[in-house]
Structure 1
Amino acid sequence: MELNKIIEGRRSVNDFEPNGEISKQDIETIIEKATLSPSSYNLQHWHFLVVHDPDRKKVLKEVAYGQQKVEDAAAAIVVLGNLQAHERAKSIADDLSEKGYLPEEYKENVINQIQGLYGNNETMQRDEAIRGASLAAMTLMYVAQDMGYGTCPMIGFDPEGVRKEFNLPAHLIPAMMITIGPAKEENNPRKSRLSVNEVTTFNGF
């Protein structure tokens, strides 16, 4: 599908086919494409918790304040941010060097830059984890749209409830949830958008 049509056609879906399905292969394909999203230093701060088992979806629905679309969707993907992504610094520097982006003698400098920026800065770790996860989430939704699935990004859930019920490791934080599957609704009118003039400023305020 042409990119402009994907962007223009995407809607946040609230009504999914309750018996709709999405294959594990399609989920993996969608996530594989989402991992092509950009990230600071290529640290790839994202992780994806896929919930498609009917009983587990019911549990997720409860910590999402009872929203029915969590249960009706073929799957729900909790997009997580990794607070420890900076610990990949050496492997990232090795990859950059092997592919000719970084001279061997500068590898240690890059590793030190990454550790200096993130190592002892919890605010930066969290901000970057959310940013990276959000970039991957948007890519994921566009890929799903291209493959014929509806999606809905959600922040209407209890992060600590998700952590408890799904035993999240401490270094992974929920950024958002995306319900995904065949949609009931089609060709709904686009909700209003602010104009370019309303949201754009050139060269300063």
Structure 2
Amino acid sequence: MELNQLLEQRISVNNFDPAGQISREQLESIIQAATSAPSAYNLQHWHFLAVTDKDRKLALKQAAYNQQKIEDAAAAVVVLGDLKAFEKAGLIADDLSAKGYLPEAYKDNLINTLHNAYSNESTQREEAIRAASFAAMTLMLAAKNDGFGTCPMTGFDPQAVRETFNIPAHLFPVLIVTIGQELEETRPQKFRQSVEQVTTFNGF
């Protein structure tokens, strides 16, 4: 699908066809596309918890204040932020060096820089939220391009989600994206403010 058309047609779907399905291969392909999202230092501060089994979706539904869309969607992806993404600094430095972006002699400097930059827990969390949000948007566009509707959700109990799915301490739920077949006919995108209303050039 052409990009502008994709952006115009993506809407938040509240009603999914309970009979709709998504294959493991389709879901993995969509998640693969989501990993192309940008992140600071390419640390990729995200992890995806894909929930497809009926009983697991019901458990997630309960943690999300019983919103029906989670049960009816073919899959629900909990997009997690990774607080310890900076621990991949060595892998990132190796890749940059191998591809000619970073001289071999500067690898240790980069690794130390990243560990120092992310020594603050607030920075870890803020960057994880940003990166996970980029990934979630990319996930939704990829799903739409493959013919699936989506809905981003922040209405859930993070602690309940953590406990229900035994999420490791270094990961935390940022948002949930439901994916499935839209039940309604295609609808127009909701109101958007004009560029003039939302843009200021060169300062206020």
Give the shorter-chain TM-score range: over 0.9
Q: CA deviation at 1:45?
A: 0.6
Q: CA deviation at 1:61?
A: 0.5
Q: CA deviation at 1:197?
A: 1.1
Distance in 1 between the 2:163 and 2:129 partners?
20
Counterpart amino acid of residue 31 in structure 2:
I
Q: Which residue of 1 aligns with 2:24?
A: 24
Q: Which residue of 1 aligns with 2:148?
A: 149
* 1:1-205 alignment, distance < 5 Å: 1-118=1-118, 120-205=119-204
Distance in 1 between the 2:162 and 2:200 partners?
40
Q: CA deviation at 1:19?
A: 1.1
Q: Deviations over 1:158-204 (max 9, x none)?
A: 00000000000000011100000111123213211111111111111
Distance in 2 between the 1:189 and 1:29 partners?
27
Indicate if the aligned counterparts of 2:10 and 2:189 stay in contact, CA closer than 8 A: no
Counterpart amino acid of residue 187 in structure 1:
T
Q: What's the secondary structure of 1:21's corresponding residue? A: coil
Distance in 2 between the 1:123 and 1:33 partners?
28
Distance in 2 between the 1:136 and 1:173 partners?
14
Q: CA deviation at 1:113?
A: 1.3
The number of aligned residues is 204
Gaps of 5+ in 2: none
Q: What's the secondary structure of 2:176's corresponding residue? A: strand
Q: What's the secondary structure of 1:62's corresponding residue? A: helix
Distance in 2 between the 1:184 and 1:71 partners?
13
Gaps of 5+ in 1: none
Identity of aligned residues (%): 62
Q: Deviations over 1:24-67 (max 9, x none)?
A: 00000000011011111110011000111001111110110010
Task: List 4+ stretches of structure 1 deviating above 3 A.
Answer: none
Q: What's the secondary structure of 2:79's corresponding residue? A: strand
Distance in 1 between the 2:185 and 2:126 partners?
35
Distance in 2 between the 1:193 and 1:36 partners?
26
Q: Give the alignment's TM-score, normalised by structure 2.
A: 0.98
Distance in 1 between the 2:125 and 2:167 partners?
16
